Amino acid sequence: MPKQVPSYLTAVAGAAMLALAVPALADSRVPPVPPTYADLADFTDAAQLIVRAKPLVVKAIPMAQARGVRPGWARYLVDAKTEGLIYGRGALGTKLRYLVDLPLDAKGKPPKVRGTSMLLFARPVEGRPAELQLVAPDAQVPWDEPLDARLRSLLAEFNAPGAPQRITGVREAIHVPGDLAGQGETQLFLGTASGEPAAITIIREPAQPPRWSVSFSEVVEASGEPPRRDTLGWYRLACFLPRVLPGSVNISTSAPDRARAARDYRMVLESLGPCTRNRG
């Protein structure tokens, strides 16, 4: 998981001093945008800690001091009560402090967060056990039981033996035609952040629709099924494969075979569908 602190974060201690001069804002009833599977996976992949906490005091940071805040949003300093550690290691105090960016409604008010249980996707602050740094400006999600179940299922996927690793790109693509017209096989060898092997295989047979499968191990499984949407395997591919097959990785021996490999790659992307995100 990444170790670098996001640039949007300022020192929490300094932000606290600035926030003392700003009154706490009244809570608004604007409902937050629910996170998609990709949103939760993004946050989980980057987090060292996932904490359930209840904000008690929410104070605005002056815009002049809040760098990198997107239009229509504002930054807040939150003092929260710790309700539980869902993922990660380390002792947490009963109180936590962190910065978060929240969207504003037409009246300039943020969503209601005070008194509402939240999931925080965060990293610890060295030497400051009562402070957290969110992994993204908006890496705070309202907690409820269905979301809790979704998150725990996702954590089980991330921590399962042989779990799909983060995709960094396509290393090689090759199409080999078969003996019959319309017959052939395309293989896409993928790069991963961990160095573990991953490959996509597309099989074409005459008068049949193409079928494809993915393997996240040394064994290339050509008879498998594509990953189901909103699973870790789907997320790794749909959200991180390049939108166009780089020509430099296409090592098919002829122009028609290179064109077939590129078409098969597009077919895989279309089968996966879009990687929808509501956050970040």
Flag whether pLDDT at 17 surpasses 90.
no
Span 58-79, pLDDT tens digits: 999 998 889 899 999 999 999 9
What does the pLDDT read at residue 91? 77
Mean pLDDT of 183-196: 95
CATH code for the domain of 95? 2.40.50.120
Flag whether pLDDT at 19 surpasses 60.
no
Give the chain's mean pLDDT: 88
* Boundary (domain end) residue, out of 97, 124, 158: 158
Q: What is the 3-state secondary structure (H, E, C) of the chain?
A: CCCCCCCCCCCHHHHHHHHCCCCECCCECCCCCCCCHHHHHHHHHHCCEEEEEEEEEEEECCHHHCCCCCCCEEEEEEEEEEEEEEECCCCCCCEEEEEEEEECCCCCCCECCCCCCEEEEEEEECCEEEEEEECCCCCEEECCHHHHHHHHHHHHHHCCCCCCCCEEEEEEEEEEECCCCCCEEEEEEEEECCCCCEEEEEEECCCCCCEEEEECCCCCCCCCCCCCCCCHHHHHHHCCCCCCCCHHHECCCCHHHHHHHHHHHHHHHHHHCCCCCCCC
What does the pLDDT read at residue 142? 95
What does the pLDDT read at residue 221? 66
Mean pLDDT of 171-184: 94
16 and 154, same domain (yes or no): yes
Q: Is residue 277 part of a domain?
A: no
Flag whether pLDDT at 32 surpasses 90.
no
130 and 190, same domain (yes or no): no
Span 133-174, pLDDT tens digits: 999 999 999 999 999 999 999 999 999 999 999 999 999 999
Flag whether pLDDT at 276 surpasses 60.
yes
Structurally, the chain folds into a number of domains equal to: 2
Span 213-269, pLDDT tens digits: 999 987 666 667 899 999 999 999 999 999 999 999 999 999 999 999 999 999 999
149 and 59, same domain (yes or no): yes
Flag whether pLDDT at 203 surpasses 90.
yes
16 and 121, same domain (yes or no): yes
Confidence at 1, pLDDT banded by 50, 70, 90: very low
Flag whether pLDDT at 29 surpasses 50.
no
Q: Which domain holds residue 174?
A: 167-272
Q: What proportion of the chain, given as a percentage, has pLDDT over 90?
A: 74
Flag whether pLDDT at 274 surpasses 50.
yes
* Boundary (domain end) residue, out of 129, 158, 187: 158
What does the pLDDT read at residue 27? 43
Q: Is residue 246 part of a domain?
A: yes
